[in-house]
Amino acid sequence: MSLIRVCVACFLLAISCPAWSEEALPDPRREGQSPSEKLTALVERVRLEQGRISTLEADFRQLKESSMLVEVVEAVGTFAYSAPDHVRWDYSDPNPISMLIDGNEMTTWYRDLGQAERVKVGRRSQRVLEYLGATSPLDDMLQYFSVSLTLPDDVTQPYLLELSPLFDKVAKRLQGVTIWIAAEHYLPIRLRYVDADGDVTDLSFENLRINGSLPIERFDLRLPDTVDVRIVELDQRTRLQ
């Protein structure tokens, strides 16, 4: 299971956003817009709505398909975010794993193995957060992909973005990305990544709780004394098998 692939999702931002009147809010369904204007409106609306988030919790489900796997592997868990730089992923099944980003430190705890690794990211914390999808803006992501937008006839159904890499260095890692954005709150609720080798990671979010009460203790990952903790440099980080 690759935590990096799971976490690479343009799911949240930690940015300030301008004040908008309800009438002036970007709307990809507004009449008279060209296809590129509709895409621009959707991206701006996602950025705006994500910028309003102070806390967010969700349940997630990950499906992994690979030629190396006999069947599709499913993993489930919970996600939590608190602005500006607290992110937590907890896998409950099939392997219990917790990953916490707290300011300038990232901790991954492989609970069933009794092992953990702690990465001191220091001044590079913001870059790490962006790479993991905790604060990566959708419009930043679009710099590296060509995009096709589908607006479903049913206005309650998600918007669909299909992304294809613009550059060879991106294509060497990804064939494409598909993003489903909820019409209700303009947050991504499903992401599908196709790797260069054809492997597929499909990540979906349910039961979103936006700007609810989220105690800071949620981001207190206390490791038992029996856990073997490795302190590693970011560039030397290796994933435990």
Q: Which CATH superfamily is domain 3-17+37-236 in?
A: Lipoprotein localisation LolA/LolB/LppX (2.50.20.10)
**Residue 230 pLDDT grade (very low, low, confident, very high; cuts 50, 70, 90):** very high
Q: Where are the domains of the chain?
A: 3-17+37-236
Indicate the pLDDT class of residue 23, thresholds 50, 70 and 90: low
| Residue 166, pLDDT score | 93
**Beta strands in 24-183, from DSSP E residues, in sequence order:** 55-65, 73-82, 86-93, 97-102, 105-110, 115-120, 145-150, 159-165, 174-181
Count other Cβ atoms within 10 Å, centred on residue 183.
15
Q: What is the CA radius of gyration of the chain?
A: 18
Which band of pLDDT confidence, cut at 50, 70 and 90, is reported for residue 119? confident
| pTM of the full structure | 0.80
